[in-house]
């Protein structure tokens, strides 16, 4: 495997009812939530592929479960490589991805999810620039987590805590401080997890960034999922 200066990893799940976007059920049915996630994933992959090419990054799609790799590989455009996620839970899988990338020579590693359609190229460029000054960069989201991670130095303890609770951002920063990692926070973003997030999507669709998620917005229109968006 050739060495590279930078790499972005998209973490994705198989769009299977009952396995994805479960916090959207209700108001959505499990099959509807899986359909929405499939559109989010395809939009994120298409946009990220373009960002990777323009920023000179290699791109990896990390898939769970392993048997879904072949199906999702058909969605992944150039320059994506597809691998299976390795580890019993998300923190260990993120750590594995960073270690593998750095073992192959990546000097800067970006990790992102597959449900944050408005995370754009300017944010990725800002993360890469911040990694010239800091060991760790994070883009917070509204539920206490983060939608983008950038690393130039990794320690095993960084993600050694539960990744599903509202304190995950603070837990990660505490781990970084204990390990002597410097960090910077980027502008906040959001991912699509709840009906309240659908309201944020409705606002964002009026911006120029709407071009990043045409499939998602088309599905929201076609199925009138907007009626489920919770305000406030």
Name the pairing type of β-strands 108-112 and 146-151: antiparallel
Going from N- to C-terminal start, the domains of the chain cover 6-223
Strand partners, 62: 11, 83
Report pLDDT digits (tens) over 140-181.
998 889 999 999 999 989 998 888 788 999 999 999 999 999
- Binned at pLDDT 50, 70 and 90, residue 232 comes out as low
E strands, 65-211, are 80-84, 108-112, 136-140, 146-151, 183-185
183: tokens are 């960090």
Place of tokens 């449900």: 115
Report pLDDT digits (tens) over 177-204.
999 999 999 999 999 999 999 998 988 8
Question: H-helix or E-strand containing 58?
Answer: strand 58-64
Whether 33 has a pLDDT exceeding 70, the answer reads yes
32: tokens are 């509807």
Inter-residue contact 135 to 176 (CB < 8 Å): yes
- Top pLDDT among 143 and 95 is at 95
pTM comes to 0.94
Residue 4 is predicted with a pLDDT of 45
Residue 2 is predicted with a pLDDT of 40
Q: How many residues does the chain have?
A: 232
Q: Which fold has domain 6-223?
A: Spore Coat Polysaccharide Biosynthesis Protein SpsA; Chain A (3.90.550)
Report pLDDT digits (tens) over 2-27.
434 799 999 999 999 999 999 999 99
Residue 144 is predicted with a pLDDT of 87
Phi and psi at 179, nearest 5°, equal -90, 0
């Amino acid at each position: 495997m050739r060495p590279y200066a930078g790499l972005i990893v998209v973490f994705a799940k198989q769009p299977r009812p009952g396995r994805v976007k479960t916090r959207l059920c209700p108001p959505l049915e499990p099959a509807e939530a899986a359909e929405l996630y499939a559109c989010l994933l395809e939009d994120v992959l298409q946009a990220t592929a373009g960002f990777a090419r323009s920023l000179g990054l290699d791109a990896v799609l990390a898939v769970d479960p392993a048997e879904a790799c072949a199906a999702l590989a058909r969605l992944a455009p150039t320059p994506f490589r597809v691998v299976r996620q390795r580890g019993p839970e998300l923190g260990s899988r993120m750590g594995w991805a960073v270690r593998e990338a750095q073992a192959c020579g990546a000097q800067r590693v970006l990790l992102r999810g597959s449900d944050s359609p408005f995370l754009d190229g300017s944010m990725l460029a800002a993360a890469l620039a911040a990694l010239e000054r800091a060991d760790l960069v994070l883009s917070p989201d509204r539920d206490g987590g983060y939608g983008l991670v950038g690393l130039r130095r990794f320690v095993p303890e960084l993600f050694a805590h539960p990744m599903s609770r509202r304190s995950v951002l603070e837990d990660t920063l505490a781990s970084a401080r204990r390990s002597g990692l410097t960090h910077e926070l980027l502008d906040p973003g959001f991912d699509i997890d709840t009906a309240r997030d659908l309201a944020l999507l409705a606002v964002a669709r009026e911006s120029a960034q709407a071009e990043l998620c045409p499939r998602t917005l088309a599905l929201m229109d076609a199925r009138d999922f907007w009626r489920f968006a919770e305000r406030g």
